[in-house]
Structure 1
């Protein structure tokens, strides 16, 4: 293991303070910096390192290039009692999505359902944090977003669709875990390739093709090529669905026109589609939670296939990882800490301690 690959455990509160300080030093309002840092560190805690604090250098590069406005205020317009639209004005996707889900929850509390479309936004990291925002208010949710082209449509070979995650959630009962689904339509999230590149690691050959259409275990060559959809045409169709609801429907960029978070050349114009649903629309909350408990128990206690020690409910592994990392710390490679500290040096912020 090289020095750059050596791992260190970082306290999540220290990390959150550090990330917020970099954001504020780059012009982000303290309240917005708190939202962004909380979302990024939430991803780190859940083990979704590809969408955590390591994204800060790419976001700050976009600010310095003038293609992400850290001071932007999302503007909300109500369309019907249960539908609203937000113009993110090229600000942080975290801030626009947080405002969008808050409005969807507000409408759902009155009418049972609320939906918000977001345009002119940016990458908002791990989708599960938006689901968690709804869960904290006792709500079910659907969270869609589109993203920059990285995936061919089934039968094609050019980058056209984004590796756009589909996420949803529902509160659990007293005996089980909440349901949290957050998955990309590709075999692996593109952020995992960037993570492998940062850490000097290889990737599984099933994940991507190089620019010539050959399978590769080299993350640099994979980023020059295309990701592969999971389940062939099924993953491709899910990516197109994300573009319909998040791009076409919202008025944001779509059909391969979204600009990625690692490209500081122009605004991203990402779109999101957020839905909050009251779980007790059709029955009492007590009955809903009892039914969720029963589902949880049936899933995790079902008969196991050969070689499987434990069956997990969707989102459960991440919850267990968070519980562990809150106590032990979040693992970062020295190269990743150095990259974050370079951002600190640019704005005169105290270094993240190893």
Structure 2
């Protein structure tokens, strides 16, 4: 295991992106979003996605030079066209637009079409939090999940995310979860690292439970909560695909498939938290909720109860100090992308001798 600092990681990703035709300004946004996932411990959606994204660029199915455009529909509603560019750029522009509308009239809603995978949804939530806003963040994705009662891939493991500013605790509410038992990116991560997966995550192509990530990717993911997870996946497709005009009903292209554009859709909402009370009262109420949650009576074997998003915040604090961990295979894959464009290798260091968390 090697470690890389957040600053070095962002600089590395920016150089690889610019070397592949992305403008410097856009590369800064994409790199920040990817490294934020690594810092929060969501390694499945961090800089390790660079090789698959660059493969799509090389195959001409993701436009590295595209920048999103906005069409204002009403004072509270807008649509962003991603023009088949990076999903990070379309989502960033969409949430920025929603925030501006919310500042003026209390709420902003943005539909995004013709986009691509935008990594970890929590970074979009954080963009709203940084502006003092509550948010809802939806996206659809490529088929990986059967509908309840079905056996073939149809719905995506599309994450549903939302957030609200923190009270005195300093810990905002950040929920970011897939409707599957586990995110599909965790299976790709296990495959990349030569690891097995828990037997309740997926079925192989014959419908049998498997702990082999390669067989799981040939089969289907399992929905969380049975029909409940299936319904959430369909909801993501309604709001992100049907409503936006992007691909839906199983027609979104897998981000690891460089054969054709993905045509992903997103649905983003920003809300002012002081619409119904003062911001001070809102934050007092959020702090009370936080204290009630983390102070709940614990069951046997549980040492600490965390607020949604708190574990990831703690991961970020730790990784900002100690660096982002990468296995050798991941370092080699990233450096191969750097070599393709004549960029310097990623700067890694040995792991710290002792964790401070």
TM-score under structure 1 length normalisation: 0.98
Determine helix, strand or coil for the equivalent of 2:112: strand
In 2, Cα distance between equivalents of 1:238 and 1:203: 24
Hey, what's the Cα distance between the residues in 2 that align with 1:222 and 1:26?
32
Question: Residue 114 of structure 1 aligns with which residue?
Answer: 108
Which residue of the partner structure matches residue 3 of structure 1? Answer: none
Does 1:66 pair with 2:60?
A: yes
Corresponding position of 2:71:
77
> Deviation at 1:174?
1.6
Are residue 53 (structure 1) and residue 47 (structure 2) matched? yes
5+ residue gaps, structure 2, are 349-357
Query: How far apart in 1 are the matches of 2:272 and 2:65?
Result: 33
2:280 is the counterpart of 1:293: no
| Deviation at residue 348 of structure 1 after TM alignment | 0.7
Three-state SS of the structure 2 residue aligned to 1:271 is: strand
1:255 aligned partner: 249
Aligned with residue 127 of structure 2, among 123, 133, 139: 133
Aligned residue among 35, 39, 54 for 1:41: 35
Alpha-carbon offset, residue 269 of structure 1: 0.2
User: Could you say which residue in structure 2 is the equivalent of 1:91?
Assistant: 85
Once the two structures are TM-superposed, the CA of residue 260 in structure 1 deviates from its matched residue by: 1.1
Stretches of structure 1 lacking an aligned partner (at least 5 in a row): 1-6
**Match of 2:111, SS?**
strand
1:95-136: CA deviations, max 9, x gaps? 000000000000000000000000000000000000000000
What is residue 234 of structure 1 aligned with on the other side?
228
Q: Does 1:194 align with 2:188?
A: yes
- Alpha-carbon distance between aligned partners in 1 of 2:85 and 2:40, rounded to the nearest angstrom: 25
- 1:176: Cα distance to partner? 4.2
In 1, the alpha carbon distance for the partners of 2:3 and 2:342 equals 23
Residue from 336, 340, 347 that aligns with 2:341: 347
Using the TM superposition, give the Cα deviation of residue 73 of structure 1 relative to its aligned residue in structure 2, in angstroms. Answer: 1.6
2:251 is equivalent to residue 274 of structure 1: no
Q: What secondary structure sits across from 2:144 in the alignment?
A: strand
Cα deviation, residue 157, structure 1: 0.4
Query: What displacement does 1:175 show?
Result: 2.4
Q: How many correspondences in the alignment?
A: 348
Report the TM-score when normalising by structure 2: 0.97
Give the distance between the partners of 1:112 and 1:34, measured in 2 at CA. Answer: 29
**1:53-88 deviation digits (Å, cap 9, x = unpaired):** 000000000000000001112111000000000111
Structure 2: how far apart are the matches of 1:47 and 1:223? 22
Q: Which residue of 2 aligns with 1:154?
A: 148
Q: 1:160 and 1:186 mapped to 2: Cα distance?
A: 13
The answer to whether 1:338 aligns with 2:312 is no
Query: 1:31 maps to which residue?
Result: 25
What's the secondary structure of 2:260's corresponding residue?
coil
